[in-house]
Structure 1
Amino acid sequence: MTQTATAQITGIHHVTAIASDPQKNIDFYAGLLGLRQVKKTVNFDDPSAYHLYYGDEHGTPGSIVTFFYWPGHEARGRIGSGQTTALVFSAPPASLAWWQERLARHGVKVEHKTRFGEEVLAFVDPDEIPVEIVAVAEDSRSGWTGSGIPAEHAIRGLHTAELTVAFAAPTEALLSIEMQFRLVKREGDRARFEAGPGGSGRYADVIQAPSAKRGSGGSGTIHHIAWSVPDDATELAKQSELQESGYQVSPVMDRDYFHSIYYRERGGILFEIATETPGFAVDEPAASLGTALKLPRQFEPHRAKIEQLLPPVEVAKSFT
């Protein structure tokens, strides 16, 4: 395979999971964790399902977590190999005690861990999806403070993508060769890779778990991980490189706020490559992101019916 200078993945774009209750999801991520709800829309393939986005002030790639929700008919999944298995956020080191107290005060059980020399708070969201807040000293990103979280404690964005597979070698080869990540370090069954200039928001942790049960999709699991590229030209170059290497890659799909291609790595995890542009302010003012229901163009003629079918949701519950 011939690598081109343009086909560079710069880090994480977003992580998408599946929730069982949209209001509880909003209250947890936009309320308790203080992320900004940057978009309220529906699934491109099923307008009966909300698609909720959270991130920093502008929904910057690397800060974004998104959730699907199917009312009444989405079976619970199982977390296991062949999946992204945690939502891992970055926060200032001095803020971890503050987060521990805040989470405990609202009934969230917190476990302490240390990984790659980093202090970690581990807990689960209302659907029991694993969530972590990692103390990261070198992270210049600014978190969202509009939800009442003090600036010195605000979550800055995603820290790493946790990729759990039965056998690590094929996944590591994809990251190293076609995706041009660099191996940073190993610790036990976990290997950390970094993309672009490196640092928080640009990591991928590959976990080899041969005895783990195979994961199954459904609520309480992470659906896919999206990697970021700066523009359409880079995405097309990466699409071509992956196809040359034998990966089945989708056509480019217009997701309104970015353009995407999809493929599965050898361990079974669904990967997406998404562009940084046009961004979330393309269909509503930056000052009011996430406040109105935005529909993909093909669903706009059916807005009245879609709004009738979707369960009502409110702004995040206020937490102190």
Structure 2
Amino acid sequence: MVKSLLGIHHVSAITKDAKANYDFYTKILGLRLVKKTVNQDETSMYHLFYADEKGNPGTDLTFFEIPNAGKTFKGTNSISGTSLRVVNDEALRYWKKRFEDYNIEHEAITFLNKCAVIPFCDPEGQRLFIISDENNSGVEGGKPWTNSPVPENVGIIGLGPTFLTVSRLDRTERVLTDILGFRKTESYFAEIEEKERKVNVFETGKGGNGAEVHVIEVKDAPRERPGKGSVHHVAFRVENEKELHKWVEKLNNAGIANSGFVERYYFKSLYFREPNGILFELATDGPGFETDEEYETLGETLALPPYLENKRDSIEAKLKPLDTTKS
């Protein structure tokens, strides 16, 4: 018997430019780069992890750098929005002013379900929301980095709901509820791509913003063609390695094609696609990002897991230098 998933673990997206990406997410959004490493399946590309002070599970927004990534053509069967949590509604007013000051594309403060939000985009069109935890309970948030350029009391404390747009709701719902154990809790209506759409809310674990998936069914649109600013996958939290092996067994018994157990060093993983083609990952809460770096210097040098260390010279030769030392 598997235990319930604990919430959102991380979201991984695509950038064309690691340097510009680093500048935006650390200097504008005030997140901490807690790990500068490479995509372990394609070591010629950076994999950057932005998070709270030390990369607590549920706070990581990560990016693969693909220099030749083209434009994203939005559509269905995609991860269509990522939200970032702040402690209260007052913090949203700070972010609105900050976005205005830095000329960041954003919309007015509005509400999604019961929570105040600011929809905005990063310079590559990544679809994001700042979401308030003022009316939220459930999975706890993280702790903003004290050296962030954003004041700690309004800083981002983790990932909020992940938004999926699918062509067949029933297919995704069946995997979320029957396989992954999410609970369908409610639905609400919101304007999505200039149309009023029904949004279905699923939660796991303690629930709340840090453990929700919001699913929109859109039958009248083409499938998304991913590029820069698109999301590659969403990962959900598993307590430990023992539990992850149970999930491998559960997926196998259900006849769901999957990666099996995958060693990622900073956590252990399992990957599979739900029936609409969206990539899901299950990832353990540990060991964490301080496994190979000190807390004070997280993200400042290129970190490689031990099984890639003997290839460091050839890996570094293929990467464009990226200075992430803290001033």
Task: Give the alignment's TM-score, normalised by structure 1.
Answer: 0.93
Does 1:184 find its partner at 2:181?
Answer: no
User: How far does residue 240 in structure 1 lie from its aligned partner after superposition?
Assistant: 1.7
Q: Deviations over 1:166-210 (max 9, x none)?
A: 111111121112111111210132111111011121111111111
Q: In the alignment, which residue of structure 2 is the partner of 1:118? A: 115
Q: Which residue of 1 aligns with 2:159?
A: 158
Q: Which of the residues 66, 73, 76 maps onto 1:81?
A: 76
Q: Which runs of 5+ in 2 are unaligned?
A: 190-197
Q: 2-side partners of 1:47 and 1:216: how far apart?
A: 23
Verify: 1:127 aligned to 2:128, yes or no: no
Distance of 2:240 and 2:42 partners within structure 1: 27
Q: Give the deviation of 1:48 after TM superposition.
A: 1.2
In the TM superposition, residue 46 of structure 1 has moved relative to its aligned partner by 1.5
1:197 corresponds to which of 206, 225, 249: 206
2:272 aligns with 263
1:66-116, CA deviations, whole angstroms, 9 ceiling, x for partnerless residues?
000123x33333332111111211112111111001011111121133210
Say whether residues 1:62 and 2:63 are aligned partners.
no
Amino acid corresponding to residue 122 of structure 1 in structure 2? P
Cα distance between partner residues in 1 of 2:291 and 2:266? 7
- Name the counterpart of 2:26: 30
SS across alignment from 2:123: coil
Paired with 1:129 and 1:80, the residues of 2 have a C-alpha distance of 14
2: CA distance, partners of 1:233 / 1:302? 30
Residue of structure 2 equivalent to 1:300: 309
1:236-251 equivalent positions in 2, closer than 5 A: 236-251=245-260
Secondary structure of the structure 1 residue equivalent to 2:154? coil
What is the alpha-carbon distance in structure 1 between the residues aligned to residue 183 and residue 310 of structure 2? 47
Letter in 2 for 1:184: T
8 Å Cα contact 2:105-2:122 kept in structure 1: no
Instruction: Compute the TM-score of the two structures, normalised by the length of structure 2.
Output: 0.91
Corresponding position of 1:224: 233
The alpha carbon displacement at 1:278 in A equals 0.7
Q: Is 1:44 aligned to 2:40, yes or no?
A: yes
Separation of aligned partners in 2, 1:300 and 1:233: 26
Q: Which has the higher contact order (CA 8 A, sep 6+)?
A: 1
Does the 8 Å contact 1:7/1:238 carry over to 2? no
The whole-number CA distance in structure 2 between the counterparts of 1:20 and 1:274 is: 25
CA distance in 2, matches of 1:194, 1:21: 34
Match of 1:96 in 2: 92
Task: Quote how far apart the aligned CAs of 1:302 are.
Answer: 2.7
Say if 1:41 and 1:52, in contact at 8 Å, map to a contact too. Answer: yes
CA contact (8 A) 1:13 1:228 kept: yes
Deviation digits for residues 224-283 of structure 1, max 9, x if unmatched? 000110111211112222222221011211011001010000111000000011111111
Give 5+ residue unaligned stretches, structure 1: none
In angstroms, what is the RMSD of aligned CA positions?
A: 1.7
CA contact 2:301–2:324 (8 Å) conserved in 1: no
Q: Is the 8 A contact 2:233 2:281 kept in 1?
A: yes
Q: Distance in 2 between matches of 1:115 and 1:306?
A: 43
Q: CA deviation at 1:316?
A: 8.4
What does residue 277 of structure 1 align with? 286
Match of 2:242 among 233, 241, 262: 233
Q: Which runs of 4+ in 1 moved over 6 A?
A: none
> Matched residue of 1:177: which SS?
helix
1:215 Cα deviation (Å)? 1.1
For 2:211 and 2:234, the matched residues in 1 are separated by 12
Match of 1:213 in 2: 222
- Offset at residue 317 of structure 1 (A): 9.8
